[in-house]
């Protein structure tokens, strides 16, 4: 049986930078389980601000919801993103 973790949602990221939790604190090491982006363009999730891209996503107009299979994508240095043409993004993590 695989290990189950609680899944949380980040605060909305309206500009490129580090994702914060719902209370406004840095998230730190986590596994990304899903991404919700608003607008056409791209959301590139990096392992830390200025870190290695680990999850590049192209988005279409409107709301975009992407589920990550398995145990998710590991962000050892905390999740950050570069948004292009996207007005906001939320990650689901555990």
The structural domains of the chain, with segments of one domain joined by +, span: 8-93
pLDDT bucket at 14, cuts 50 / 70 / 90: confident
What is the predicted pLDDT for the residue at 16?
86
Query: What is the signed CA dihedral for 72, 24, 13, 81, rounded to 10 degrees?
Result: -50
**Could you give the CA distance from residue 50 to residue 1 in angstroms, rounded to a whole number?**
36
pLDDT score of 58 more than 90? yes
CA 33 centroid distance within chain: 8
Q: What percent of the chain has pLDDT over 90?
A: 87
């Amino acid at each position: 049986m695989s290990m189950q973790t609680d899944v949380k949602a980040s605060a909305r990221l309206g500009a490129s930078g580090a994702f914060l939790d719902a209370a406004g604190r840095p998230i730190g090491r986590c596994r990304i389980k899903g991404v919700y982006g608003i607008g056409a363009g791209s959301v590139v999730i990096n392992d830390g601000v200025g870190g290695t891209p680990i999850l590049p996503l192209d988005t279409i107009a409107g709301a975009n919801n992407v589920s990550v299979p398995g145990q998710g994508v590991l962000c050892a240095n905390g999740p950050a993103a570069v948004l292009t043409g996207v007005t906001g993004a939320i990650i689901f993590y555990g």
